[in-house]
A = this chain, B = another copy of it.
Amino acid sequence: MHRFLRELITEWRRLKLPVKDAAIVVAVSGGADSAGLLLALHQLKEKKKCDLKFIVAHFNHDLRGDDSDKDEKFVKKLAKKLELEFETGRWKKTKTKTAENLEQSARVARYEFLEGIAEKHQAMAVITGHTINDQAETFLLRLVRGSGLDGLGGMKPVRELTEGKSVLLARPMLRWAKREDTEGFCREFNIKYRNDKMNLDETFSRVKVRKKLLPLLQEMNPAIIEGLARTAMVVGTEIQEMDRAAEAHLAAVANLNTGALDVKGLLALAEPVRMRVLRQWLLRQRGDLRRLDMEHFAAVERLILKGTGGKTVELPGGERVTLLKGALTFTKT
């Protein structure tokens, strides 16, 4: 069996993905990564290594006019050739202020589309063609943007597609495949993949990371991509563990009825643990951490350390954290 297929099926099993009696949505942009993934899965099925129903899903971001349509046609043709069902969706753009917002809004739309297709076909998972190159690039991008430790955690090989729902998002190539592997695999089987990386993800920063930053780092360490991807994975595991510990601490200092936090209990925690507990607390109170920055957390920390009663930290949107009688309470006006 081809090394590419062997690696893929090994990781597939390691991730505890099913090998039969299930439908799987394969998100295919048309680039070498996703096209290679689709081709490899098809070959594994032909070789009876799995017996799954694959649905090919392509989301047309419609950002490059004719080129976007050519991508869609290519994926459609590839699906037909492999005798697989094909689903497509088209992005209805809304105006956004920044490129980052555009990217964010496109991602939300793409995930909604994939979620819908998965539900329609009662698929248990959506899989994508992310490689260790993507992992390394994302790590560097976030490092460059100064996103703090939590942002450096990297993508997970499996997670829920939408929190709380049962459909999984799996990336069966994230931990072993390099871009040169997927490109080589496609070439070997005469799949003329599209250059999908020039689309939406290809923001200015990501181009710089790929074309300039990574080559420079490779001069210094030829195994840098694997190294960065491993670091991202390690950081991710550690963060998960720290969050788990913080949850236990939160349960110990929070009043079950009011949700108020016991300041004495908070003060007994080491500073980084306390910060994590506060994050989790605010996450639960607010539903998300949007519009909160390091300054807000530092202000709450000062409130706790000063320990004088009756003081308040104002958060965005009329929210408040108040220190009263040795307890920290969250209120929204």
- Chain B residues with CB under 8 A of A226: 146
Q: A297 CB to closest chain B CB, in angstroms?
A: 12
- Chain B residues with CB under 8 A of A205: 220
Copies in the complex: 2
What residue of chain B has the Cβ atom nearest to residue A221's Cβ?
Answer: B144
A107 close to B (CB within 8 Å): no
- Chain B residues with CB under 8 A of A220: 144, 205, 208-209, 213
| Interface segment out of the listed A38-46, A66-74, A229-237, A313-321 | A229-237
On whether the beta carbons of B208 and A241 are closer than 8 Å, the reply is no
A223 close to B (CB within 8 Å): yes
On whether the beta carbons of A146 and B227 are closer than 8 Å, the reply is yes
CB 8 Å contact bits of A225-249 with B (1 = contact, 0 = none): 0111011001101101110110000
- Chain B residues with CB under 8 A of A238: 149, 238, 242, 272
Of B208, B231, B271, B272, the residue contacting A149 (CB under 8 A) is B231
User: In whole angstroms, what is the CA distance A226 to B148 when docked?
Assistant: 12
- Chain A positions 248-291 with a Cβ under 8 Å from a chain B Cβ: 270-273
What residue of chain B has the Cβ atom nearest to residue A139's Cβ?
Answer: B143
A212 close to B (CB within 8 Å): yes
CB 8 Å contact bits of A142-156 with B (1 = contact, 0 = none): 011110110010000
- Chain B residues with CB under 8 A of A152: 231
A217 close to B (CB within 8 Å): yes
- Chain B residues with CB under 8 A of A244: 270
Q: A30 CB to closest chain B CB, in angstroms?
A: 28
What residue of chain B has the Cβ atom nearest to residue A294's Cβ?
Answer: B230
- Chain A positions 168-209 with a Cβ under 8 Å from a chain B Cβ: 205, 208-209
User: In whole angstroms, what is the CA distance A143 to B149 when docked?
Assistant: 14
Q: A131 CB to closest chain B CB, in angstroms?
A: 18
Of B212, B221, B224, B272, the residue contacting A216 (CB under 8 A) is B212
A219 close to B (CB within 8 Å): yes
- Chain B residues with CB under 8 A of A223: 146
On whether the beta carbons of A272 and B237 are closer than 8 Å, the reply is yes
On whether the beta carbons of A270 and B242 are closer than 8 Å, the reply is no
- Chain B residues with CB under 8 A of A273: 241
On whether the beta carbons of A231 and B143 are closer than 8 Å, the reply is yes
On whether the beta carbons of A148 and B270 are closer than 8 Å, the reply is no
- Chain B residues with CB under 8 A of A149: 231, 234-235, 238
On whether the beta carbons of A228 and B271 are closer than 8 Å, the reply is no
Q: A28 CB to closest chain B CB, in angstroms?
A: 30
On whether the beta carbons of A221 and B146 are closer than 8 Å, the reply is yes
On whether the beta carbons of B208 and A219 are closer than 8 Å, the reply is yes
- Chain A positions 103-149 with a Cβ under 8 Å from a chain B Cβ: 143-146, 148-149
Q: What is A's interface to B at a CB cutoff of 8 Å? A: 143-146, 148-149, 152, 205, 208-209, 212-213, 216-217, 219-221, 223-224, 226-228, 230-231, 234-235, 237-238, 240-242, 244-245, 270-273
Q: Which 10 A-B pairs have the closest CB atoms?
A: A146-B227, A241-B272, A237-B272, A144-B220, A149-B234, A241-B270, A144-B221, A238-B272, A208-B220, A241-B273
